[in-house]
Amino acid sequence: MTRTLTIDEPAGPIDHVGFFRWDQIGDKVVMTNDAGEWQLLERDEFDAFLANTVEDGALKTALVDKGFLRDGSDLNGLADRIRRKKRWLDQGPHLHGVVTTLRCNQSCAYCHASRTDMDRVDTDMSIETAKKVVDLAMQSPSPAIGFEFQGGEPTIRFDIMQFIYEYSIEKNRYENKELFHAVVTNMTYMTEEMGHWLIDNGVLVCTSLDGPQEVHDQNRAWRGGTGAHATVIKWIKWFNEQYVARGMDPELFHVDALMTTTQAGLSKGRELVDLYVDLGIRNVHLRPLNPFGFAAKTWKAIGYTMDEFMEFYSDTLGYILELNRQGVQIQEGHAAIFLQKLLTPDDPNFVDIRSPIGSGTGQLSYGYDGRLYPSDEGRMVAAAGDEFFQIGHVDSSTWDEVYSHPTVKALATSSLLDTLPGCSTCFNAPFCGARPMHNYMDNGDLFGQRPNTPKCQQHMDTVKLLLNELAQDSDGSTEAIFRRWTITRARAAEEA
């Protein structure tokens, strides 16, 4: 980590300060601690903090309340804040990704999912395997269990989705968990019959939409079809119209969309946001490419540096903020995750950005054949011929064997930021998350050299960008927008 600001050696001991990490944000200093508290200071304020000469007033009160100054701070209160931030640690996997089939009718330039052709019925999940998936997943101690149907294109085996939904509902009569279901679909196999069933049963629908037509159709080639973009748009509109026709709150009930940024999309950020706004999609999650699967083979044609992505991200985020100031309701999903960590007492438990990582402890991935992986990335590695991350099979593994598997422990160890050189002293440690599987796929090492990894740069630059926005927020309008992005409402509760 590079720090351009220098600190003079304090004249005396500094045992008046609580534990803190620091870095420079523009011309200010940011301090953070394990409770997720943070404070932006001018340089002279930081010098006064170190010298224990902060005068009585609002700043000193804030530094005491946040635990940066020891005298008068509530250590038990700080411990409670840390406990609340980390309350998911002992809950177990809540997200269960289920691959109903590897078959897919698209051939995306960046596909990570090891898709197979439409005639490969041998890559479909069986009813017997689906039943065992539910039986195992429902043993998780998590109070909430979510089944996310993936592929391939999961709707090709819509019957498997229906079975898992119905069987999990039946099982939950005895388990009494908060149950939710979602499908990630390219929409090109959708029918109205499927659509009505998904809406009738409260299955959340998420699709892929990479931007305007020329970008989406270039990224996501549709075998045997015309342009995939037009089909996706048609079904997004159909679902959203159905929600409204049924009297469901469009703020809550609408199709969500994921986008993946390729070279073709780097100059189309504003057009992407405008498209999402026009479709009533209220969250655009700007995602960089991962150099895995097909993307590794086509990287020269579709890839870019993280610096190039962050330039795209910064410009597009700025445009999203500009629209918000005009009253348009749209947020950036990656920023919203970090803002929940920065501006609320809770951690959103986004499994890919937490310490330790959620692989195996917050999520599991179930292959079509019943093989178990800590997350979808583990399945990607296996598709490339390396079964390093397989942690069991639904035919033979017990819950305890899966949850306490040595690989799960290794992933937790290699992503626990408090123990990792460079991460343990980084200001971003309370908000960040290392990605061991990404490190493994990049260089064969779970730990990796994190300051040199794309994910470290992305997370660091994103949080610095957000803090810089807040540092320049003279009238509180930006913070008001950011706080709105942290508000979540449960769809199930609203529906009831």
* 113-143 pLDDT tens trace: 578 889 999 999 999 999 999 999 999 999 9
In this prediction the pTM is 0.93
- All structural domains of the chain, each given as residue ranges with its CATH number in brackets, are 21-85 (no CATH), 92-496 (3.20.20.70)
- Which two three-digit tokens encode residue 265? 């999309």
Residue with tokens 């890919």: 352
Q: According to the model, what pLDDT value does residue 495 have?
A: 39
CA 338 – CA 483 distance, rounded (Å): 11
Alpha-carbon Rg for the chain, nearest whole angstrom, is: 23
Q: Which 8-state DSSP code applies to residue 114?
A: -
Alpha-carbon distances of 479 from 31, 106, 210, 339, 470, rounded to whole Å? 18, 41, 28, 10, 6
- Which two three-digit tokens encode residue 57? 């007033």
Residue 387, number of CB atoms within 10 A of its CB: 11
Q: According to the model, what pLDDT value does residue 449 have?
A: 86
SS3 content of the chain, % helix, strand, coil (to 5): 45, 15, 40
CA 259 – CA 200 distance, rounded (Å): 26
Q: According to the model, what pLDDT value does residue 450 have?
A: 84
Q: According to the model, what pLDDT value does residue 433 have?
A: 95
**Sign of the CA dihedral with 321 first, then 324, 330, and 333 last:** positive
Q: According to the model, what pLDDT value does residue 300 have?
A: 78
HSE-CB for 14 with a 13 A CA cutoff: 15
Residue with tokens 């409402």: 489
Below-70 pLDDT ranges, the chain? 1-13, 112-113, 223-226, 291-296, 490-496
Determine whether 306 is exposed, middle or buried from the number of CB atoms within 10 Å of its CB (0-12, 13-18, 19+).
Answer: middle
**Sign of the CA dihedral with 232 first, then 234, 237, and 241 last:** negative
3-state secondary structure of 245: helix
